[in-house]
Amino acid sequence: MKLAALERLLALRRLNRFPNRLYPPPPRAERWPAALRALELARAGASQRDIASELFGRPSAAEAWAGPSDFMRSRVRRLLRFAEAMTREGYRQVLSGRPVAPAEAGPAPR
């Protein structure tokens, strides 16, 4: 961590700005918008199947929902739990890279 800070300071001095390459996105950051969108849909009354259709496309969701595996339903549930934890524990914890604990109170909303 100290080496990264030094590298950033040297880049700032050399370039008079912070280069993007020294600030990679946090792991799994691509998941955040989908999780928040899933929560928004759930709070508006959408079913898990409707959420899957909205996030992953109607054909993909319909095919996965009809299949023998429940991976798509599990994926939506995980996104909802993660989004609930983000809203409950605050975005700062998520952005800091600290792990977000799963919800302790019951299953994800349907």
**Taking the CB of residue 30, how many other CB atoms lie within 10 A of it?**
9
What pLDDT is attached to residue 100? 59
Is the residue at 60 inside a domain? Answer: yes
At residue 34 the predicted structure's pLDDT band, cuts being 50, 70 and 90, is very high
Q: Is residue 83 pLDDT above 50, yes or no?
A: yes
Angle 76-93-89 from CA coordinates, rounded to 5°: 65
Residues 75, 34: Cα–Cα separation, whole Å: 11
What pLDDT is attached to residue 101? 59
Is the residue at 2 inside a domain? Answer: no
Is the residue at 10 inside a domain? Answer: no
| SS percent in the chain: helix, strand, coil, step 5 | 65, 0, 35
Q: How far is CA 101 from CA 31, 67, 86, 89, in A?
A: 16, 30, 9, 9
What pLDDT is attached to residue 12? 87
Is the residue at 72 inside a domain? Answer: yes
Is the residue at 37 inside a domain? Answer: yes
Structural domain of residue 39, as residue ranges?
Answer: 26-95
Calculate mean pLDDT across residues 54-72: 89
Who has greater pLDDT, 53 or 18?
53
Do 102 and 85 contact (CB within 8 A), yes or no? yes
Q: Is residue 68 pLDDT above 80, yes or no?
A: yes
Domain count, the chain: 1
Is the residue at 106 inside a domain? Answer: no
- Average pLDDT in the chain: 83
Calculate mean pLDDT across residues 8-34: 86
Is the residue at 74 inside a domain? Answer: yes
Is the residue at 4 inside a domain? Answer: no
**Taking the CB of residue 77, how many other CB atoms lie within 10 A of it?**
18
The single residue listed with the structure tokens 């008079």 is 16
Residues 108, 78: Cα–Cα separation, whole Å: 8
Calculate mean pLDDT across residues 90-97: 69
Q: What percent of the chain is predicted at pLDDT more than 90?
A: 36
